[in-house]
Amino acid sequence: MNVNMELRCYNCQSVVVELPVSKLSKKEGLNFLCENCGHFNVLKHKMLQKGIERNPFINIFGIDERDTAF
């Protein structure tokens, strides 16, 4: 059972990222940048909510890549 969940931008409702449901809890609190509208979303309670803008070079997808590299 590894169902992917589409996480949609709080602002424009486009799909920002697809994650397996089993991994959602590990990603809580991470920021995701919407490529469509450029707004930050933060993953909370398994949904994307309005994120706080901060340095775009930290705490976005880069963290994911490092997680899986090791």
Instruction: Between 9 and 17, name the residue whose CB sits nearer to Zn ion.
Output: 9
User: Which region holds residue 67: left if phi is over 0, alpha if psi is between -120 and 50, else beta?
Assistant: alpha
For residue 7, the minimal CB distance to Zn ion (Å) is: 11
For residue 35, the minimal CB distance to Zn ion (Å) is: 8
Asked whether 33 and 18 are in contact (CB, 8 A), the reply is no
- Residues lying near Zn ion in the complex (CB under 5 A): 9, 11-12, 34, 36-37, 39
Q: Phi and psi (nearest 5°) for 42?
A: -115, 140
Instruction: Between 11 and 59, name the residue whose CB sits nearer to Zn ion.
Output: 11
Report the alpha-carbon distance of residue 18 to residue 24 in Å, rounded.
10
Instruction: Between 34 and 43, name the residue whose CB sits nearer to Zn ion.
Output: 34
